Structures are given as C-alpha cells and as structure tokens.
Amino acid sequence: MEQAAPQEAAGDQREIVSFRVAGQDFCIDIRYVREIRGWSPTTVLPHAPDYVVGLMNLRGNVIPVIDLSLRLGLGRSEPSQRHVIVITNDGRGTVGLLVDSVSDIMSVPCDELKQPPDVATSHAPAFLEGVFTVDEKLIRVLDLAKAVPSNRAVEE
Amino acid sequence: MTLKVLAVDDSRTMRGMLAEVLADAGFEPYLAEDGEDGLRRLSEVDPDVVITDINMPNLDGFGFIDAVRADTRYRGLPILVLTTENAEPLKDRAREAGATGWIVKPFHDLKLVSAIRRVAARQV
Amino acid sequence: MPGGDALRETFFQECDELLEIMSDGLSRLEDEQPGGETVNALFRAVHSIKGGAGAFGFDRLVRLAHALETLLDDIRADRVNARPVLPVLLRAGDRLHDLVEAERDGHSADAVRDLEQLLRELAAASGSPEPSPAPAGGSEAEPDDFGFVPTSIPIDLMPVGDEVVPQPGHRLRFAPAQSLYRRGNDPIPLLRALRDLGELHVDCELAELPPLSDMQWDGSYLAWRLDCGANLSREDVLDVFEFVEEDATLELLDEAPTTEAPAPPASPEAPAPTGTGSADREPAAASTERGTSSGIAGPRRAIRVELDRVDRLINLVGELVIGEAMLSQSLAQSGAGHDPGVIAALGQLKQLSTELQERIMAIRAQSVKTLFQRMARIVREAAAATGRDVRLICEGENTEVDKTVIERLSDPLTHMLRNAVDHGIEPPDRRVAAGKPREGIVRLSAAHRSGQIVIEITDDGAGIDPEKVFARAVERGLVPPDAELTEQEVHNLLFEPGFSTTQEVSDLSGRGVGMDVVRTEIQALGGRVSLSSVKGHGTTLTISLPLTLAVAEGMLVEVAGETLIVPSTSLRETMRAGDAITQRLGAGPPVLSLRGALIPIVDLGEALAYRQRPDDLSSNSVLIVESLSGRRIGLAVDRILGQREVVIKGLSENYGRIPGIAAATILGDGRIALIIDIEQIACGDGTAADRKPHVVAGVS
C-alpha cells in the first residue's frame, strides 16, 4: 500500500483536502481537487450503478457525481443544500464526489501516513491508501483510483 | 555562408511570414519596417537580396528602390518587389524604379525562394 | 532544396488545392469539348505541382507531372485530341494523387506500381516520346484499365535496351540588354537556375564581342546559346526568365519535335541563324508565360486555422446559447420578462447568438466536391476491375457538409458505389441484351433538403430482385420461410448483418462487409440510409444526415420526473394515448392502433429503468418514432414539453455506452437532459419494455 502513495522523501509535506462522509473524516491529495461546489440536483443516469447519483453540469461539461458514502458502504446520502460536491480529476476524467462537508486544507508530513486500521467497517479499507492522525483525529486517505472506478470498471 | 536577405515590410504579420519562409529555406533573414528603416539596415546588413513591399509609411517601396539604386554601392543589388496582386502597372512602375523582379502577394513560399535564387549573384 | 516542415506543409496543402483543380478540369474534359480555359487551368495546376515537387526533390512526382503536362500542352495546342486520351489522363491524374499522398506520408512503394508503364502511355499519347530510363518490356503486362488502345502509338520510337538517342530539347539564345544589369539582374544565377532544372549546355557568343576599346562600362555585350534537356517544357524555361523578359532578347530556336500535327512555326533542326526574326516570337512566348503564371500563385483568400480552435468556438457558442436560455428563464421567473425593453434586448440577443452559431458551424462546413472527386475515381477503378462500362454523374458538388461528416462519409460511400458498379450495373453485353445502353450510369448527388443533407446514389442497373433477396434471407436464417414481408421490408433485409446478394464472392465488394456496416457508419453520424429499387431498372440509396454533428433538433419530454430529449430525425408524430387507442394483447406490451397498423408502445420510463410501467398509459402522451430500419414504435412519456434545438454533449468518453442514451445536452436552467437513442430503444421485437434493461451491474 505504501507504493500507492506519491513518491516523496521522508519529511516532505503532503497537502490534503479533508472532508466528512457519514460522520467520518476522509481526505484526498489536493492535486486531485479541481474545485468545490454546493449541491445542486443532478440528472439520473439510467442503468448506472447505484452509487452514481447522476450527472451535473460543470460549466458546460457533463460530469458524473458519486455518492461517496454509498460507495464506501456507509449508507446512502440524502443530498441537501448543505451537501458539497468535491470536483476531482486524477487524470482519468472529471468526477464529482458528494460529501457531507469539506473540513480543511492542511499539510501533513508524508511519513505520518499509516496503514489503515482493520477496525473500519464495510468497504472502506479497500478504498483507502492509509490514515493520518491529526490532532488525535483519524483522517482516512482515500485512494481515488479505487474509490472512483474507471469507465471499464463501471461496465464490468 | 548563407545568403542574407533583407525584407522590408510595414506589416508585422508579413514580416513574420517572410522571416519564417526565408529561414526555412536556409537564408539569413533581416527585417526592416519601412523604406527608411530599410535604408538604415542596408548598410548594416549588406544583404545579397532585398525584398520590399510597396505601400509603406515614411518611405514607400518606389522611394526605397530609388534611394538604393542612387547609391553606387547598391547598383547591382537584386531587389524583389512584393505586389499585392498581379497588377501590371505596379510591376511596370517598380521596374522603372529599378526593381529586379517581383513576387505576388499572398506569396507562394516556393516561388519566393526560387525567385531569390534566380537573382542572387552568390551561389549558396 | 528548401527544408522546413512548414514549407513542406504549404506545398502539400497547395497540392490538395491543385489536385482539386485538376480533378475538376479532368471531369470537365469528360463532359465538354476541351480547349480554352479548362485545359489551361489543368495545365497550370499540373505545372505548379511539378514546380513544387521539383523543389523538394520528389522525382517521381516531377516525372509524372511532367509527362502529364506535356500531354496537356499538346491538347492545348490542338496537336492531340483530348477525348481518345482521356482514360490515360484520368489514370495519370489518379496516380498523381497517389504520389502526392505517398510523398506526404513518406511511404512511396505502392504508388509507383505502374508508373513506368503510365509514363510510356502518356508519352505515346502525346506523340512526343521522352527518353524513359525504364525498360520497355512488360508494357503489355498491365492491361489498360479501360481496355482502351490509343490509335496512334509510335511504339517504335522507343529504343529498347540500346543507348538512348538523345532527344533534342529546347535551344535558345539569351542576349541580355543593358537594362537587365541596371535592374540588378544577373545572367549567372539565371543560367544556374536553368541548369538546376536539368541538363544544360551553355555557349557564350564571344565572336560578337566588340574590341575592348569600344566597350561602354555599363554596356551589355555577352549573349549565350543554351541547350536545355528535353525534359524541360517551354514553361519551365520561360519561368526562369520571368523577370528579364523585357530586358533581354530571348529566342527559342527550336523545340522538341512532335510527331502528330505540325508544331507551330518551328525552325528546322539545324542551329538557327542568330538574330533574325526572333523579335516576333519572343512576345508570343512571353504572353503564353504570363497566362500560365497568373493562376499559379492564386490561392483562395483564406487563412489556415486549426480545427481545434473552431471546435472550441463551437463549444463556446453552445454555452452562449445555453446561457441565453438561462437568462431568459431567470428573467421570466423574476417577473422582468414582460418588460418591453427586456423582451427586445433578449430577442436581439437570441437572434445574434443564433446567427453566431450558424456562422461558426459554417466554418466547419466544406463542399462535398473533393469527396465526390474521390468517388469518381472509385467508380473508375471499380468499373475497370469488374469489366463494366460505367459513367458517374455528380450533382450538387457544392453542397456543404460538416467536415467530420465528409471525412466519415468516405468509407460508406466507397462501399455503396462499389456495390452499385459491382452488383448494380450489369456487364455491357447483358445491358445491350436488355435493351439498355452499353454504358451504365451511376448518379451521385448531394442536396440540402428540409434541414438535412441528402445524398443519393442511383444506378440504372439490374435493380434488386425481391424474391432472390427473400430466398437468401431465409437461407441465412434471417427470416422464417413463411414470413410475409412488404417490398420495403425485403429491401431492409439487405442491411442485415452478413447479408450478401451476389452468388460469387467478388474481390471488390467482398463478402462479410455489407450494407449493415454502411448502415452502422451512417447511423454513427446521426443519419439514416434507405433503399428503393425497381427490378430491372436500378437502385437508389438515400442517405440523410443532420446538417451538423454539434446541434440537434429534439422534442423535450418528461418521464418519471426526468427531462429527456427525443431526436426529431426519428420522430414521426405525437398524440395523446387515450383509453380507446391503447389496448392489451394478453400479457404482452400495450399496442396502439394507428391508421390500421398496430404499433407497440414502449414506456420510456421503464425502458430507462426509471420506473415500472404504469398499468394505465391512457393519460400519457405518445411519440411515434421510426428506427432506421423503418420500424415504428410508440414512446409513452408523461408530458411533451416542446421542440428544442440542443447542443450535443458526448457521453461515451466518460461513461462508455449507456443503453438507450445517445448523448446529453444542457437545458436552459443549467440542468442536464439526456438524448434518447431511438435505435436501441426500438431494437428487438417490440418487447424491449418487457426485457430487463441491460443493467450495468456488479460493480462494487
């Protein structure tokens, strides 16, 4: 799992965006975050996996929005005005992640990344790259490549 | 030694295009913005061939050619005129002024290159 | 040799233009009595290609262009009649195309297959043989595509194997006037330029030099006699002296002899006497040259723009249209929609954005001319390969179509035209026996018709035998033997995968790749293809395409709370379902009886897995849509919201193919609406609604 982390020397800082999903703290590398938008109703995509909330209009581009909570096995979100969509792009295309709220942008020393604990429930560990502990709070580092299936994965 | 070609044209676009074509063809391009500038550059550069536009501010093409031919050092210097269309009267006037040849704008890269080779005394 | 990719690029771009002019001229030669401007334009085009090719050292291209040019020159001078040599001209034109392409792509092996043979034929046709380094053997190896034998081939002029007798080329005398030097010209670079074109022998006339004491410092005393190789045309030579025509005496002492028709007043072979009578000829030569050069450097007034930039513009205009719709919606909601000033300004904005959109779309539009020219060649080759006598008539060549459409039409059109020649037009004997003219006619036309591009391919061949088609379809298991099909339905069988009507496999159309591929390709362009045929009288294929790929006309509908768009191209009519019309046949899908026909109803909400089909559809609206294969179904929706022009946003890139969905668009309120794929919804036997939709499942 350590290989999955960007190759940085010990002592390097990693900038992350943290957010809450179903009462838990998650984060992704800030490099993958394009912008953060408030929730607005999406268009249902027929025959799509259940965790695909629908399609949204991002300045004229049609992008899919994923219910991260459902995807992580933490239950379906009931999107409201308070929900937030984190627009990400990890090189495979632009995708919106529906989350409860965005918490912070922070720098974390790379060597503090730990193996995810097994205690976490449901699917979550499979989608994690590791965890950080910041101010005694456990922040799970999301492995975008796994959490957001590529096109082909969707079709399988 | 590559051939030195001085191109005199008041249009930046035209100068850019000329410079590109000339450089592509293996010539050494020099640029001037109008007739007056052309005369100034002439003694600095000492070109093998001059290409000049006709309609230019300050000193137009005809005046430029007159001035060049009046200088004994440049009596035999090949001067090609860029004319906007295949306008015979313009061509004739340019010839009267002492132009060596002419190139019709929008010029054709290969025609330009071959015209230069046909008037340049030095073989490169 | 000039280097630089930019220059190369320019050359090839110009070649494209010149080749188009050439193809144009050649096809006009086919139709009309040659002569005049047609031949001149043709000549200039070929000459210019040769000039550029020479600069880049594309020798094969130069040789072919030269041979073609020589023949054209003979035609221009009425030394050769154009009509009998037309097949050779056309073939040379095709080959010139190939060579240009080969040089552009940097692979040139294939294009030269029969080059030597072609050069010999051209030389033979023009009657002015040129020394060809290639051995004359095997000249019969490659049969003429047209079975055409030129009537006057001076074959014995070609020495075989032995030393080639040098053909006399152009001899000329060049005597600069004083003014030549005064204008900065110099004989030396001119002679050098001439030498660079080919063989050159130079003699300086020293005998006429005055004694040194009599010379003026700025006088002109030297004159030269030049022997140019036979490989040069008069135009080549005169090109070199372009700038000094009026500052020198340029005498053409003789020319390469021509076998046919006497050449214009040419002096005998012997070296001509100097001076006398030369003045008369020079102006004539000069005026020929002027006529020749005027068209060479005359590209259309145009700038080159990367396609990407245009596409970005198109996207932006799409956004503008959406933005405008959003603005108009918010104004209406805010109550400002009734303000006369707002209404007027909004109207103007709308008009401007619509016009802007149309203008930008027009940038991508190109005439189908080059496409049709390529097709002319396909027909020629197909005719030659199958021994048919075929004439292609093109109509509406100036019809403009989106560039992408043109590019993607090439394959299906090629296939359909080959089919028309191979399977449509009968062999000449059979045609004569059937009381038809020997020569079959294939007509290719393009036209704008009610917001669509319509392309038709018509042949006057044997037509389609419905019984044979039906039998074949039964044999292939496509239909049960007892099926009762209308003629149209039988014709539609031709578009079924794997269908092929000829008994033997032809190398031309082959088997396997059939009309089904054509249909798929046209469909991918958002178009439709249909066929009509009368046995014994011919077949017509009709392709209709949307004007642009970026904007579509659609009907906005609402189903299960979602807004969707049904493309207008497949929409036939809309109606209220009503209880009387909807009925159930057992447990099967509901049907609607429309003017005597029973049309299956598909609930759009169910087809897209939005909901279960409501038990009662009578209060719903129904859209009657027709698939490309002519199949009609009724789409049940909750509400019809109205006709709308929408900007198409592709989906497949991000999502793969979504069953039943073709693309998406953005509505006036910024929300996304999906565009329905009628072909997928209507596919199958009308029980689509009963089948489980192809669910993308098992992901997590």
Give the list of residues 6+ apart from residue C217 with CB closer than 8 angstroms, or none: none
Q: How far is C128 from chain B (nearest CA, A)?
A: 28
The reply to whether B42 touches chain C by the CB within 8 Å rule is no
- Contacting residues of C for A51, CB less than 8 Å apart: 699-700
Give the list of residues 6+ apart from residue C353 with CB closer than 8 angstroms, or none: C317, C320, C321, C324
**Is residue A127, in this structure, part of any structural domain at all?**
yes
What mean pLDDT, rounded, does chain C reach?
74
Residue ranges of chain A with pLDDT lower than 50?
A: 1-8, 152-156
Residue C593: per-residue pLDDT: 78
CB contact under 8 A, C243 and B111: no
The reply to whether B75 touches chain C by the CB within 8 Å rule is yes
Residue A121: per-residue pLDDT: 52
- Contacting residues of C for B29, CB less than 8 Å apart: none
CB contact under 8 A, B98 and C299: no
Residue B6: per-residue pLDDT: 95
Residue B72: per-residue pLDDT: 83
Mean pLDDT of C401-415: 85
Give the list of residues 6+ apart from residue A141 with CB closer than 8 angstroms, or none: A16, A26, A27, A28, A29, A113, A128, A129, A130, A131, A132
Coil vs helix vs strand at C477: coil
The pLDDT of residue C652 is above 70: no
Span of A56-60, A66-70, B38-42, C691-695 with lowest mean pLDDT: C691-695
Q: Which residue has the tokens 């097949």?
A: C87
Q: How far apart are CA C212 and CA C203, in angstroms?
A: 20
Q: How far is B101 from chain C (nearest CA, A)?
A: 5
The pLDDT of residue B91 is above 60: yes
The reply to whether B19 touches chain C by the CB within 8 Å rule is no
Query: What pLDDT band is residue B32 in, cutting at 50, 70 and 90?
Result: very high
CB contact under 8 A, C658 and A71: no
* Out of B21, B100, B123, closest to residue C185 by CB: B100
The pLDDT of residue C156 is above 70: no
Q: Which residue has the tokens 């031309």?
A: C508
Interior angle at CA C42, CA C39 and CA C43, nearest 5: 85
309-348 of C, contacting A, C-beta below 8 A: 315, 318-319, 322
CB contact under 8 A, C654 and A151: yes
B–C contact: 3+ Cβ pairs < 8 A? yes
Residue C51: per-residue pLDDT: 67
Mean pLDDT of C108-115: 64
**Is residue A136, in this structure, part of any structural domain at all?**
yes
Task: Please tell me the pTM assigned to this model.
Answer: 0.46
The reply to whether C691 touches chain A by the CB within 8 Å rule is no
Tens digits of residue pLDDT in C177-198: 888 888 888 888 888 888 887 7
The pLDDT of residue C628 is above 90: no
The pLDDT of residue C527 is above 70: yes
Span of A83-92, C118-127, C252-261, C286-295 with lowest mean pLDDT: C286-295
CB contact under 8 A, B110 and C183: no
Q: Check if the beta carbon of residue A86 is closer than 8 Å to that of residue A99.
A: yes
Query: What pLDDT band is residue B39 in, cutting at 50, 70 and 90?
Result: very high
Residue A69: per-residue pLDDT: 93
Q: How far is B39 from chain C (nearest CA, A)?
A: 17
**Residue C101: Cβ within 10 Å count:** 17
- Contacting residues of C for A90, CB less than 8 Å apart: none
Mean pLDDT of C350-358: 81
* Out of C11, C181, C243, closest to residue B110 by CB: C11
C171 versus A116: the higher-pLDDT residue is C171
A24-29 and A137-142 as β-strands: parallel, antiparallel, unpaired? parallel
Give the list of residues 6+ apart from residue C324 with CB closer than 8 angstroms, or none: C346, C349, C350, C353
Percent with pLDDT over 90 in chain C: 9
CB contact under 8 A, C2 and B24: yes
Q: How many domains does chain A have?
A: 1
The pLDDT of residue C122 is above 90: no
> Which chains lie within 8 Å of chain C at 3 or more CB pairs, if any?
A, B
Query: What pLDDT band is residue C398 in, cutting at 50, 70 and 90?
Result: confident
Query: What pLDDT band is residue C657 in, cutting at 50, 70 and 90?
Result: low
What is the 3-state secondary structure of chain A? CHHHCCCCCCCCEEEEEEEEECCEEEEEEHHHEEEEEECCCCECCCCCCCCEEEEEEECCEEEEEEEHHHHCCCCCCCCCCCCEEEEEECCCCEEEEEECEEEEEEEEEHHHCECCCCCCCCCHHHHEEEEEEECCEEEEEECHHHHCCCHHHHHC
Residue B11: per-residue pLDDT: 73
Residue of chain B whose alpha carbon sits nearest to that of C300: B106
Mean pLDDT of C649-674: 75
The pLDDT of residue C688 is above 50: no
Beta bridge partners of C665: C673
* Out of C3, C189, C297, closest to residue B119 by CB: C189
Q: How far is C451 from chain A (nearest CA, A)?
A: 26
**Is ipTM beyond 0.90?**
no
Residue B33: per-residue pLDDT: 87
Query: What pLDDT band is residue C457 in, cutting at 50, 70 and 90?
Result: very high
The reply to whether B22 touches chain C by the CB within 8 Å rule is no
CB contact under 8 A, B101 and C242: yes
CB contact under 8 A, B25 and C3: yes
Residue C154: per-residue pLDDT: 35
Range of the domain at A69: 13-155
Coil vs helix vs strand at C239: helix
**Is residue A37, in this structure, part of any structural domain at all?**
yes
C-alpha distance across the termini of chain A, in Å = 24
The pLDDT of residue C459 is above 90: yes
Give the list of residues 6+ apart from residue A137 with CB closer than 8 angstroms, or none: A25
Q: Give all strands of the β-sheet with C248-254 in edge-to-edge order.
A: C200-204, C224-228, C171-176, C248-254
Q: How far apart are CA C381 and CA C16, in angstroms?
A: 21
Q: Alpha carbon of A92 to those of A95, C67, C460: distances in Å?
A: 9, 55, 53
Q: Check if the beta carbon of residue C185 is closer than 8 Å to that of residue C243.
A: yes
Q: How far is C562 from chain A (nearest CA, A)?
A: 7
The reply to whether B78 touches chain C by the CB within 8 Å rule is yes
**Is residue A117, in this structure, part of any structural domain at all?**
yes
Residue A4: per-residue pLDDT: 45
The pLDDT of residue C521 is above 70: yes
Q: How far is C353 from chain A (nearest CA, A)?
A: 16
Give the CATH number, domain containing residue A72: 2.40.50.180
**Is residue A7, in this structure, part of any structural domain at all?**
no
Mean pLDDT of C245-266: 57
Interior angle at CA C341, CA C338 and CA C342, nearest 5: 60
Concatenated DSSP letters for B35-95? HHHHHHHHHHH--SEEEEESS-SSS-HHHHHHHHHHSGGGTT--EEEEESS--HHHHHHHH
* Out of C562, C660, C694, closest to residue A44 by CB: C562
Mean pLDDT of C343-351: 86
> Which chains lie within 8 Å of chain A at 3 or more CB pairs, if any?
C
Mean pLDDT of B35-46: 90
**Is residue A5, in this structure, part of any structural domain at all?**
no
B50 versus C30: the higher-pLDDT residue is B50
Q: What is the largest CA-CA distance in chain B?
A: 37
The domain B16-121 is placed in CATH, from the list 3.40.1280.10, 3.40.50.2300, 3.30.70.260, 3.30.379.10, at 3.40.50.2300
Residue of chain C whose alpha carbon sits nearest to that of B94: C183
Residue C145: per-residue pLDDT: 39
Highest mean pLDDT among A90-99, C197-206, C246-255: A90-99
- Contacting residues of C for B106, CB less than 8 Å apart: 297, 299, 301
What mean pLDDT, rounded, does chain B reach?
84
Residue C142: per-residue pLDDT: 38
CB contact under 8 A, C51 and B110: yes
Mean pLDDT of C314-334: 78
Residue C582: per-residue pLDDT: 62
Span of B112-116, C389-393, C447-451 with lowest mean pLDDT: C447-451
